[in-house]
Amino acid sequence: MNGLTESLPPLSAHEAAVEASRCLFCYDAPCTHACPTHIDIAQFIKKISTGNLTGSARTIFDSNLLGATCARVCPVQELCEGACVLGSEHKPIAIGRLQRHAMDHAYQTGQGLAIAGTPTGFHVAVVGAGPAGLSCAGELAKRGHAVTIYEKRDLGGGLSTYGIIALREPVGVALAEVEMIRNLGVRLQTGVEFGCDISLDTLIGDHSAVFLSLGLGKTPALGIPGEEHLVDGIEFIEQSKTAPAGPPVGREVLVIGAGNTAIDCATIAKRLGAARVTMIYRRTAAEMTAYAHEYAFIQNEGVQLEFLTQPVAVVIEDGRVTGLRCRRMSLVQTGPGRPTPEPIPGSEFIIPADQIVKAIGQEKPPAFNGIETDRGFLRVNDSLETSVAGVYAGGDCIRARGSASTVMAVQDGKRAAAAIDKALTGTRS
Ligand X SMILES: Cc1cc2nc3c(=O)[nH]c(=O)nc-3n(C[C@H](O)[C@H](O)[C@H](O)COP(=O)(O)OP(=O)(O)OC[C@H]3O[C@@H](n4cnc5c(N)ncnc54)[C@H](O)[C@@H]3O)c2cc1C
Which residues bind to ligand SF4, rule: CB under 6 A?
23-26, 29-31, 41-42, 45, 84-86, 93, 95
Nearer to ligand SF4, 89 or 154 (CB): 89
Nearer to ligand SF4, 87 or 352 (CB): 87
| Contact criterion met (CB below 8 Å) for 191 and 152 | yes
| Contact criterion met (CB below 8 Å) for 265 and 255 | yes
Nearer to ligand X, 240 or 355 (CB): 240
Beta-strand pair 377-378/373-374: antiparallel
CB of 19 to ligand SF4, least distance (A): 10
25 binds, among ligand X, ligand SF4, none (CB under 5 to 8 A by kind): ligand SF4
85 binds, among ligand X, ligand SF4, none (CB under 5 to 8 A by kind): ligand SF4
Nearer to ligand X, 378 or 418 (CB): 378
* Sites of contact with ligand X (CB under 6 A): 73-74, 127-133, 150-153, 158-159, 163-164, 168, 193-195, 213-215, 234, 237, 260-261, 264, 395-396, 404-407, 409
Alpha-carbon distances of 366 from 215, 397, 423, rounded to whole Å = 10, 9, 27
CB of 280 to ligand SF4, least distance (A): 39
Nearer to ligand X, 122 or 368 (CB): 368
CB of 159 to ligand X, least distance (A): 3
SS3 content of the chain, % helix, strand, coil (to 5): 35, 20, 45
Nearer to ligand SF4, 23 or 353 (CB): 23
CB of 290 to ligand X, least distance (A): 10
Helix (H, G, I), strand (E, B) or coil at 347: coil
CB of 9 to ligand X, least distance (A): 18
Name every residue whose Cβ is closer than 8 Å to that of residue 372 and which is 6 or more positions away in sequence: 378, 379, 386, 387
CB of 398 to ligand X, least distance (A): 8
380 binds, among ligand X, ligand SF4, none (CB under 5 to 8 A by kind): none
64 secondary structure, DSSP code:
-
CB of 263 to ligand X, least distance (A): 9
150 binds, among ligand SF4, ligand X, none (CB under 5 to 8 A by kind): ligand X
Distance separating alpha carbons of residues 126 and 392, to the nearest angstrom:
9
264 binds, among ligand X, ligand SF4, none (CB under 5 to 8 A by kind): ligand X
Q: For the residues of 388-400, what is the DSSP string, one character each?
A: STTEEE-GGGG--
Among residues 190, 186, 198, which one has the least CA distance to residue 136?
186
179 binds, among ligand SF4, ligand X, none (CB under 5 to 8 A by kind): none
How many beta carbons lie within 10 A of that of residue 419, not counting itself?
22
26 binds, among ligand X, ligand SF4, none (CB under 5 to 8 A by kind): ligand SF4
| Contact criterion met (CB below 8 Å) for 68 and 176 | yes
Output 113-116 pairs: Cβ under 8 A, ≥24 positions apart. 113/57, 113/61, 113/180, 113/183, 114/61, 114/65, 114/138, 114/142, 114/180, 114/184, 115/142, 115/184, 116/141, 116/142, 116/144, 116/184, 116/185
